[in-house]
Amino acid sequence: MLFKESVQIAITALLSNKLRSILTMLGIIIGVGAVIAMISIGMGVRQNVTDSIASLGSNMLIVTPGSTNQGGVRSAAGSSQRLKLEDAEAIKKKIKNIDYVSPTVNSSYQIVNGNQNWNSSVYGVTPEYLQIRDLSVSTGSFITQADVNSRNRIAVIGTTVAANLFDAQNPVGKNIRINGQPYKVVGVLESKGQSSMGSDQDDIVIIPLTTAQERLMGITYIRSINIQVSSADRIEYVQGQVESLLRQRHHIVGDKEDDFTVRNLTSLMETMNDTTTMLTLFLGSIAAISLIVGGIGIMNIMMVSVTERTREIGIRKALGATFRNIMMQFLIESVVIGVIGGLLGVVCGVGLAMGIAELGLFTTVITAAPIVISFGFSVGIGLFFGIYPARKAARLAPIEALRYE
């Protein structure tokens, strides 16, 4: 009963100074809202990075050319031309625990159909590329090994290319021109939409690897080798085997620098997750500072309240109110500010996060954990910063309090 009366008195006291109570809560509202919004943005960034890496395929290793060194002058990474189709074939043949191997080349070209044209990325691949990148064909068929062996001028196009060159028509069976050369469209890929980093995954033209090398680009090397390992726990073993095999094939001995790079996407994902987790915690910590400021505001306003209500405290003590009664009353007032401010802050934070996502500014991920933690923190802030004013009120001597004007 005593607790219920103390709550009623606390609420009455807060309502008697509505503007002051609202301004006091404002620090808590901003703090809680900022924590929820910042953490949701950080978690959204983490999801974007994870989705981007995952879209490249699961259990993936990617071999890319290294840099060249001529006369002591180092060129950019990827400039080496020593990565060959035979390297990919050797990896597939000699190394176990590998499901698929797909060497690729790529470049941008103007794609033409009649009076329509579109600039797109052209990839030369092998049939395994379909499984490695988790692609599917909506209409027609994909590249076959026979197409690679025969260097056929065929193409599989993405939905963006199809829409810009053929409008609503079915492209399968029709011809397009790439760099002035005719290619027959044999398939259209299922739409994958935008990647989490904003690139259009449907803006692509896929042709046989050998056709791209010999008929289109006039090169003998490849730009990357995509390797899908059979299981995640074998990735590091396979990576070591690939590095050893390529060093042997490229006659790299001793401490001589590799002319290739093997990237482990699983390790990359773990590193990026750690980085984005630190970013999320950093953003949340910055936002939490405003919660501390809000707590100082609560202490300040409660000190003012104690001063204003000194005579009231004296009267209550004269009528028999104990140290505990007075302490509880003022603590409840500060906790009520924390609770109401926390609830309003949760609403504002969730609304802000949803608004940011709706406007397309950032991807946001809203989960229960930051909401519960920030609300609990706001209540704790109210309790902690209310202790000193409450103790000061409870320690007032009744006679001195009654004399106060």
Tens digits of residue pLDDT in 85-128: 899 899 988 988 888 899 999 999 999 998 889 999 999 999 99
Distance between CA atoms of residues 111 and 127, nearest Å: 22
For range 186-207, the mean pLDDT: 82
For range 184-190, the mean pLDDT: 94
Distance between CA atoms of residues 216 and 123, nearest Å: 11
The residues, any chain, with a CB within 8 Å of residue 364's CB and separated by 6 or more, are: 37, 40, 41, 43, 44, 353, 354, 356, 357
Structural domain contains residue 216: yes
Domain termination site, one of 236, 258, 280 = 258
Q: What share of the chain is helix, strand, coil (3-state, %, to 5)?
A: 55, 20, 25
Residues 320 and 186 occupy one common structural domain = no
Q: Residue 312 belongs to what domain range?
A: 2-52+271-403
Residues 286 and 346 occupy one common structural domain = yes
The residues, any chain, with a CB within 8 Å of residue 53's CB and separated by 6 or more, are: 265, 268, 269, 272
Structural domain contains residue 59: no
- How many distinct structural domains can be found in the chain? 2
Residues 389 and 318 occupy one common structural domain = yes
For range 223-232, the mean pLDDT: 86
Structural domain contains residue 266: no
Amino acid identity of residue 14, one-letter, is L
Distance between CA atoms of residues 216 and 148, nearest Å: 14
pLDDT of the residue at 68? 57
Residues 238 and 372 occupy one common structural domain = no
For range 68-92, the mean pLDDT: 69
Instruction: State the pTM of this model.
Output: 0.62
- Rounded to a whole number of angstroms, the CA Rg of the chain reads 33
DSSP code for 333? H
Give 139's strand partners: 188
Residues 349 and 223 occupy one common structural domain = no
pLDDT in tens, 8-33: 777 777 777 788 888 888 888 888 88
Structural domain contains residue 72: no
Residues 254 and 290 occupy one common structural domain = no
pLDDT of the residue at 73? 47
Q: For the chain, first and last CA: distance in Å?
A: 32
Structural domain contains residue 21: yes
Domain termination site, one of 224, 258, 292 = 258
Comparing 256-260, 369-373, 398-402, the range with the smallest average pLDDT is 398-402
CB atoms within 10 A of CB 348: 17
Distance between CA atoms of residues 329 and 21, nearest Å: 16
The residues, any chain, with a CB within 8 Å of residue 391's CB and separated by 6 or more, are: 327
Residues 93 and 228 occupy one common structural domain = yes
On the question of pLDDT at 380 being above 90, the answer is no
Residues 93 and 213 occupy one common structural domain = yes
Is 143 in contact with 126 (CB distance < 8 Å)?
yes
On the question of pLDDT at 167 being above 60, the answer is yes
Structural domain contains residue 64: no
Residues 210 and 162 occupy one common structural domain = yes
DSSP code for 84? B
Identify the band that residue 231 occupies on the pLDDT scale cut at 50, 70 and 90.
Answer: confident
Residues 182 and 140 occupy one common structural domain = yes
The residues, any chain, with a CB within 8 Å of residue 103's CB and separated by 6 or more, are: 85, 87, 88, 125, 126, 209, 222, 224, 225, 226
Structural domain contains residue 156: yes
Token readout for 6 is 């103390």
Amino acid identity of residue 97, one-letter, is N
Structural domain contains residue 68: no
Residues 154 and 240 occupy one common structural domain = yes
Domain termination site, one of 197, 228, 258 = 258
Residues 244 and 114 occupy one common structural domain = yes
pLDDT in tens, 309-351: 777 777 877 777 777 777 887 788 888 888 888 899 999 999 9
